[in-house]
Structures are given as structure tokens and as C-alpha cells.
Amino acid sequence: MISHDIIVVGGGHAGIEAALAARRLGAAVVLVTLRRDAIGRMSCNPSIGGVAKGQIVREVDALGGAMGRLIDATGIQFRMLNTSKGAAVVSPRAQADKYAYQRAAQAMVEAAGVHVVEGEAAELLTQPGSPPVIAGIRLSNGRELRAPCVVLTTGTFLSGVLHYGPEMIEGGRAGEPAARGLSQSLRALGLRLGRLKTGTPPRLAAETIDWSRTTEQAGDQPPRPFSFLSAAIRQPQVACFITRTTAETHRVIAENLHRSPLVSGQIQGIGPRYCPSIEDKIRRFADKESHHVFLEPESRETNEVYPNGISTSLPRDVQEAIVRSIPGLENARILRHGYAVEYDFVPPLQVDATLQTKTATGLYLAGQINGTTGYEEAAAQGLMAGLNAALTLAGRPPVVLRRDQAYIGVLIDDLTTRGTEEPYRMFTSLAEYRLRLRTDNADRRLTPLGMELGCVEAERTARFKTKLSEYERGQGFLRGTRLEGKTLHDWLRSPGFAWQRAVELQPALASLETEASATLETDARYGGYLEREDQDAERLRQAEAVRIPDGMDYSTMTNLRKEAREKLGRVQPRTLGQAGRVPGIGPGDLLVIRAYLAGK
């Protein structure tokens, strides 16, 4: 029997961030995974970032997390999305070399001193308490690992089933077994489980693709890093390509829909609304003549190509026909067929804002087990679960990010306040303060908190202080230089007044670091909007400051509507602000709660 401070179950993106975050705070961590060499494996699209997801990666990085540094070291194409739109939606994305990423992740885990144990976590061990107190886990081989905190990051492995048309195979992903025992153990703790579904497309052999029939999609030059610690991307970049489905593609799918487990009812789990399979697209968007297919290399070391856009659970023979119907893929060879994976998850109203479950002390959940989809959402949750587990063990207060503070705050608040019954994906439209939650200022928003918590390294602290000094120096130039009675800061709010014009009037601005200049320009140009967001954010902070005692018995508040008593009792909000975000709770309900708290 081995004793540790924290056990992390699962070696995906959530598990990596949880283990590393806890180690940065000094906790002794064991990471339990089915295979050591699968830590950091990219089961689906080998890419990081995207709209809103890129912002999350920058936030994870600002708090000392791994994902940004890993993709900077192993990315093979970097692109900044939405550059022609407003600053709030500009988002970085990068295609990864999935094998290099995996090796880099494993090296980082090893270097951090995380103890890795190969095995299947089969049962949660508890001690008596109300609620029960976590004591560790038992592996499927009977071995016990003891710890007062367990972070479950099981991904798609929890009672996972793979679907290739009518064929069903137990597994968490192709070639790897499912984890079955934990579902029963979670139910025994009083947690309700549901089923979700996700999928992946077939992989194609690069040398069998006719690239002349596709359109090249180049990356940015120069590529811009994710991590605030990365000065530049050094490795050479590769191109991706675009093709489209055809009328023949749609005919093949339509004629074989009856063979899809999604249509037959074989799959009970709910799939991601915003990343549907190709058969879902054909059904839901019957008016569309074609859909984009992005051909993305998976690694410099392999001939595997990821055809982003044709995720499917149709039988293998139908997948062959689909691929052959797409321009450039007529002779493409399928290396691995696509499939759908169905798995258990814990509807997230059963966890609190620290990601600790409400039914067991010391049990934290992060990633797809909470109903999310995406590497980035998983990494964010893993980071916060690892931090909070380590902080709690050290007798320190947990950390909960606000909605005006980070996309991570929006993500976790949505999950724990509103819940989800389908795979949750982050979008910029879900953030009320998205102009504040930009990619360029994630360090200003979060690194001071990381310094306070002690979860960021000395190099990051030093770089942040330098950049902050540059920003403040630039603010002095903008506010101290006048033209026709107005400061340069005010002039930048005017349409058509370019940053270059400000530099001409105050040449000292040219000496600023590029990132500091970009943030200064955006803050000045959108100053009026940011001031309005500040007012809204201040009201949010005031509501968040009104704490609600743990375990509040809303059934005794007879002045509350019955619906409000039921919903608030189920969510158990931590603050008055969170209570106001529970669906169906109105201003009158909040007045009742405020009066009740004032009278206690």
C-alpha cells in the first residue's frame, strides 16, 4: 500500500494539468493510468486552441499550466483566428505533432516528480463521514493506493463502448480497454450518472491523397506562441489542406443512415451539438450541398492525416465509400476507421465550484466526466481541481475564478450552476465579459493570482513583472502626450486613428514590447466598452461577496417559491451571485435569500 497526498486517475489533458498543478503547490502526487506511454495522447484531432478554447489555453498557461508550453514545443502549424473581427474573439489555434506532444507531456510529468502507476482504478475507498471521506482507490488487481484526495479525469473510458456501425466493442478509445468498476463506485457514493457520446473520423494515408485536388491552407508567418514563456516558435511549419463533401457523399450517407447507431437507437448517449458527426450534418443540414473537410497532418513522424469534418460511427464499408466520394480522396487508403465512443459522465450539478463532489469529501472531478468536450476545457478543469485539492490539503482556502476573471470561471460556473446534459463546449458568446477576457491579457488577469497561490515559476513571475512594467510605461506615454487638447489614449478611441499615428507622435511607444503594445492599443481603443463592462463586473463582484452557508436548507424558506426551493437545494450555490445565475431564479427570490441571510 502506497500513501500520497493526491491521486489523479487518468493521464489525459485534465490529468496532466491536475497532477502538475498539485505538484507545483508541493503535494505528493500519484497519477494512475492504464498505460504510461499513453499519457498526453491525443485521441481525436491533434490540435490545441480555437475560438474561446485558445483563450482558455492562455489562461491555463498564465496560472503555470502545461498545455501552452507543450503545444509551442510541438506544434506544426499555428494560426490566429478571427483577426478581421473584434479583439474579443481573436483566438489562437495550432496543429500538433501528436507523438511529439505525447512525449513532451510524459517528460514534463516525470520531471515534476509525479509518481506514475499503471493500472485500472476500479473502486474508490472511503472512510465514514457525512458526507463520506475519500481514503484512496483500489486497482483492478487488488492493490490499494491511499490518499485523502482523488481527482478523477477518466475522459471517455468510464464504461466506454466503441461503435462501428452495428458493431460494439468495449473500450475507452481504439485499442484501449474501458474502465468499468468506477461507475459502480460512483453510484455507491450517491452520484447520478448519465451517458454521452463523441466520435472521431477515419485516418488516411498521406501518400494516397491527391493533394492537387485540394486547397492549401498555410499557417501564420511568423507563428505566434501560446505560452507567455515562449519567445518564438522555432520548429518549421507544415501546411494543411481543405476539400469538401459532394452530392455523392451525401447520397452514400443518406442511403446508409439506417446502419448508423445514432439512427437505430443503439447509441443512447447525447453527442456534441457543435461538433456533429457527418451523418448528423447530413440529417440536420439537408439544404447544404457540401461541407468542408480539413486535411490535417497528425505528425511529422507518420503518414497519418486527420480529415476534420467527417467524424462518423457508420460501418467500415460505408466509411470507405464516403472517403472515395470526396475530391482528392478518391484513392485514399484508410489507416484506421472512425468510430463513436459512448461513456458515463457525472452531470455536473453534483460538483461544487471547486470541482469537489457534493457527496464525498476529497473527491474531485475534471474533464469529460463533468460533461465537457475538448482538450482545452479538460485542461482548465484539471488545473483547477489539482490546485484546489492541494490548497485544501494545505489548509488554505480554495480558489474559484469569477466569470469576469477568466473563461475558466465561465466554464466551471456554467457547469456547476446550470449543469449540462450534453457535451459542453466553450464559445466566446457564453462569456458576458469577453472583451475583458482576451488572449493578450490572460497574464494580467491571472498571473498575479498564480503568484499569490505559489503555482507559477520564478521565470514566469519575472517575465510578467517586466511586461507589466512595459504596459505601465506605455500608459504613461499615451496619457501624457496630447494632441489638440486630447491625450493619445483618448485619440485611440476615435475610428481611423491608427496605433502607428500614436507612435509617430510619441516615438517612445516604438520601444515597447510587442505584446504590451497590443494590449495597450486594445485597452485604449475599446476603453468605453471596457468601462461599461467594469460597472457590470463590479455588481457581479458585490453579489459574489455575499456568501451563502454550506448546506443551506432552502426548504425552510417558506417565502421562496417551490420551484426556487427545489432548484437552489439541488445546486447549493456558494454565493448570492451564483444563486442569481441558477436557471429560473428571479430578483424576488434573491431578495428573499438576502433578507434571510441578514436575519441570521
What is the biggest distance separating any 2 CA atoms in the chain, rounded to whole angstroms?
A: 79
pLDDT at 24: 98
The pLDDT value recorded for residue 2 is 54
> What does the pLDDT profile of the chain (600 residues) look like in tens digits?
557 899 999 999 999 999 999 999 999 999 999 999 999 999 889 999 999 999 999 999 999 999 999 999 999 999 999 999 989 999 999 999 999 999 999 999 999 999 999 999 999 999 999 899 999 999 999 999 999 999 999 999 999 999 999 999 999 988 888 888 899 999 999 999 999 999 999 999 999 999 999 999 999 999 999 999 999 999 999 999 999 999 999 999 999 999 999 888 898 888 877 778 899 888 888 888 899 999 999 999 999 999 999 999 999 999 999 999 999 999 999 999 999 999 999 999 999 999 999 999 999 999 999 999 999 999 999 999 999 999 999 999 999 999 999 999 999 999 999 999 899 999 999 999 999 999 999 999 999 999 999 999 999 999 999 999 999 999 999 999 999 999 999 999 998 899 999 999 999 999 998 888 999 999 999 998 899 988 988 988 898 999 999 888 999 888 899 999 999 999 999 999 999 999 999 888 998 998 888 876
Check the CA dihedral 169-171-175-179 and report its sign: negative
| Nearest-angstrom CA–CA distance, 351 and 123 | 19
Q: Note whether 373 and 52 are within 8 A (CB).
A: no
H or E segment and range at residue 525: helix 514-525
Compute the distance between CA of residue 170 and CA of residue 189 in angstroms, rounded to an integer.
Answer: 24
- Alpha-carbon distance of 222 to 234, in angstroms, equals 10
C-alpha span between 198 and 319 (Å, rounded): 17
> Which three three-digit cell numbers place residue 238?
507544415
**What's residue 215's pLDDT?**
97
| CA angle centred on 187, ends 12 and 173, rounded to 5° | 30
The whole-angstrom separation of Cα 495 and Cα 413 is 36
C-alpha cell at 68: 501552452
Record the cell numbers describing residue 595, joined without a space. 433578507
For residue 391, CA distances in Å to 6, 155, 179, 427, 541 come to: 11, 24, 29, 29, 23
The C-alpha cell that represents 431 in the structure block: 462569456
| C-alpha distance from residue 346 to each of 133, 192, 270, 417, 419 (Å) | 19, 6, 13, 14, 10
Confidence (pLDDT) at 341: 93
Write the pLDDT tens digit of every residue in 517-570: 999 999 999 998 899 988 988 988 898 999 999 888 999 888 899 999 999 999
Angle between helices 53-62 and 375-393 (to 10 degrees): 30
Find, among 416, 407, 397, 414, the residue nearest to 357 by Cα: 416
pLDDT in tens, 216-246: 999 999 999 999 999 999 999 999 999 999 9
Q: Is 389 helix (H, G, I), strand (E, B) or coil?
A: helix
- Per-residue pLDDT at 120: 95
* Helix residue spans in 396-441 (DSSP H): 407-413
Dist. CA 338–CA 351, nearest whole Å: 33
Give the pLDDT confidence of 435-456 residue by residue, as tens digits. 999 999 999 999 999 999 999 9
DSSP annotation of 372 reads: B
The letter for the amino acid at 72 is D
C-alpha cell at 126: 472511503
Residue 541 Cα to chain centre, angstroms: 24
Q: Which residue in this structure is represented by grid cell 516615438?
A: 507
How far apart, in Å, are the Cα atoms of 315 and each of 136, 165, 254? 41, 4, 13
Q: What is the DSSP string of 154-204?
A: -TT-BT-EEEETTEEEE-SBTTB--B-HHHHHHHHTT---EEEEEEEPPEE
What whole-number distance in Å separates Cα of residue 269 and Cα of residue 155?
15
Angle of helix 316-324 relative to helix 247-255, nearest 10 degrees, comes to 160
CA 81 to chain centre: 17
Q: Residue 201: its pLDDT value, please?
A: 96
Q: Is 49 left (phi over 0), alpha (psi -120 to 50) or beta?
A: left
Give dist(CA 340, CA 267) in Å, integer: 9
Cβ-proximal residues to 340 (8 Å cutoff; 6+ apart), any chain: 162, 163, 197, 198, 199, 261, 262, 267, 271, 277, 312, 313
Number of Cβ within 10 Å of residue 516's Cβ equals: 22
CA-nearest of 315, 244, 314 to 277 is 314
Vertex 245: Cα angle to 239 and 251 (nearest 5): 160
Cell 443551506 found at: 552
Q: What is the pTM of this model?
A: 0.95
Among 232, 228, 233, CA closest to 459: 228
Which amino acid belongs to residue 245?
T
CA distance 301 to 99: 8
Q: How far apart are CA 330 and CA 246, in angstroms?
A: 12
